[in-house]
Chain A
């Protein structure tokens, strides 16, 4: 059971055009069964924030290739677990706040 999570989501470099031009969004993710990670955050963003052309933002489980994802100003690809096989989108968000 994951507690509600307060997150600031920022879009830039043209991505904001899919979100009515709004760059910064302060959101509170509701409490839910599964812990919050990037993958379900993206699903939440697509459902609640995305205004148009989802195919330009999401592809399958992740962002469209070419879109960069930064978590606390660090490239999410840095957060691959040491086992090396876990896709970045499953990194638990709650654990990233301290970094």
Chain B
């Protein structure tokens, strides 16, 4: 049973079948098609106009490696310049090795690299410190919630430092589909309402952000990296096994095995969602502390850090009503359902992330 011939060049043996079209392509034609699709995504969506200074969120992992590689190939055609921005969350043993991969990439591709550390930005709060602080309060998976929010903030800061006009991240279709599932499973209508679309236009002073790989399934990203022999870091974050995203991922993989187009179909469904009027999120304002986009008085980053600094790390976790508010239903979602009367605050924690791009629980990236 030899592999069929490539449907594009008709010369080489096919190496894979594309999940959406079922078309069999050889490695070379697939890579060309992959790059052409990213180019189309960027151009058709007017995501990165000529002259854009693009900060690429670089973790050393397969997605951001593929993203940086492809954008670097396309940069002359798009008329954009690239800066790699890496975030150091302060996770011992894991992030150091990942950063080493990013440094190798920066050197090989001759791209400028800026590293932004949580310790510096967030008053000494590394992820290891956050994990220790949240370890005693029930479910340790909440440390991933912190990381997602803080990492976005750190990436934004890094982008500003290099005078970027746009921020790009390597989220692929699987990530988007997982986020959609997570938001449904958690009943997070606000995020579902904002999760569709190719990018955030940049409200409230935030830099425009997009994900050029959003329509590429993870399998194709992995295969592209394999065929192009890209060097990337593939260990799982030490905290990842506890993240809720892992459950969504397992479910998604099972669904994909039964129906290969399920991943992309899920993303498209989310884009077409229309919420009932009662479910629509309130128009965002500005955080009273840092000025970033926020749906409540405090943006989620400030609210989370507030909780950490007060020794109440779970203060802003969850859907917000059971954080600093008093009226949450007893025994609601879990271990943090008894508000402390001493912390009766006039400004309840923000439920919604300052960046309306879906769940903060980025968690399990780069997992097997």
A pairs with B? yes
List residues of A whose CB falls within 8 A of some B CB. 12-15, 17-18, 56-57, 64-68, 70, 73-75, 77-79, 81, 91, 95-96, 98-99
A99 to B2, CA, bound (A): 6
Question: Among the listed stretches B218-226, B283-291, B294-302, B318-326, which one makes contact with chain A, having 4 or more residues with CB under 8 Å of it?
Answer: B218-226
Q: Does A56 contact B368, Cβ atoms closer than 8 Å?
A: yes
Q: Does B219 contact A79, Cβ atoms closer than 8 Å?
A: no
Q: Does B13 contact A74, Cβ atoms closer than 8 Å?
A: yes
Q: Does B222 contact A68, Cβ atoms closer than 8 Å?
A: yes
Q: Does A75 contact B17, Cβ atoms closer than 8 Å?
A: yes
B242 touches A (CB below 8 Å)? no
A76 to B282, CA, bound (A): 48
The 7 closest A-B pairs by CB, nearest first: A65-B253, A14-B234, A99-B2, A75-B16, A74-B15, A66-B253, A74-B3
Q: Which residues of B contact A14 (CB under 8 A)?
A: 234-236, 366-368
Q: Which residues of A contact B257 (CB under 8 A)?
A: 65
A73 to B12, CA, bound (A): 12
A78 to B222, CA, bound (A): 17
Q: Which residues of A contact B254 (CB under 8 A)?
A: 65
Question: What are 9 A-B pairs at a CB distance below 8 A?
Answer: A17-B234, A17-B235, A64-B368, A65-B254, A66-B253, A66-B368, A73-B27, A74-B15, A78-B4
A66 to B62, CA, bound (A): 14
Chain B, residue nearest A86 (CB): B1
Q: Which residues of B contact A64 (CB under 8 A)?
A: 253, 368
B180 touches A (CB below 8 Å)? no
Chain B, residue nearest A77 (CB): B17
Q: Which residues of B contact A66 (CB under 8 A)?
A: 218, 249, 253, 368
A15 to B219, CA, bound (A): 14
B239-258 residues at the A interface, CB under 8 angstroms: 249-250, 253-254, 256-257
User: Which of A13, A75, A81 interacts with B62 by CB under 8 Å?
Assistant: A13
A91 to B2, CA, bound (A): 10
A73 to B30, CA, bound (A): 13
Q: Which residues of B contact A57 (CB under 8 A)?
A: 368
Q: Does B234 contact A13, Cβ atoms closer than 8 Å?
A: yes
B137-160 residues at the A interface, CB under 8 angstroms: none
B70 touches A (CB below 8 Å)? no
Shortest C-beta distance, B175 to chain A (Å), equals 13
B84 touches A (CB below 8 Å)? no
Q: Which residues of B contact A56 (CB under 8 A)?
A: 368
Q: Which residues of A contact B62 (CB under 8 A)?
A: 13
Chain A, residue nearest B24 (CB): A78
Q: Does B27 contact A78, Cβ atoms closer than 8 Å?
A: no
Over the window 188-217 of chain B, the binary record of Cβ atoms lying under 8 Å from chain A Cβ atoms (1 yes, 0 no) is 000000000000000000000000000000
Shortest C-beta distance, A26 to chain B (Å), equals 20
A17 to B366, CA, bound (A): 13
Q: Which residues of A contact B253 (CB under 8 A)?
A: 64-66
A98 to B253, CA, bound (A): 32
A66 to B177, CA, bound (A): 14
B38 touches A (CB below 8 Å)? no
Given known A14-B236, A75-B223, A78-B14, contact A67–B4 (CB-CB < 8 A): no
Q: Which residues of B contact A70 (CB under 8 A)?
A: 15, 226
Q: Which residues of B contact A78 (CB under 8 A)?
A: 3-4, 14-17, 24
A17 to B94, CA, bound (A): 14
User: Which of A18, A67, A73, A96 interacts with B15 by CB under 8 Å?
Assistant: A73
Q: Does A79 contact B3, Cβ atoms closer than 8 Å?
A: yes
Q: Does B24 contact A67, Cβ atoms closer than 8 Å?
A: no
Among A64, A66, A75, A78, which residue has the most Cβ atoms of chain B within 10 A? A66
Chain A, residue nearest B27 (CB): A73
Q: Which residues of A contact B256 (CB under 8 A)?
A: 65
Given known A13-B234, A14-B234, contact A99–B17 (CB-CB < 8 A): no
A12 to B27, CA, bound (A): 17
User: Which of A15, A75, A79 interacts with B368 by CB under 8 Å?
Assistant: A15
Q: Which residues of A contact B222 (CB under 8 A)?
A: 13, 68
A79 to B2, CA, bound (A): 7
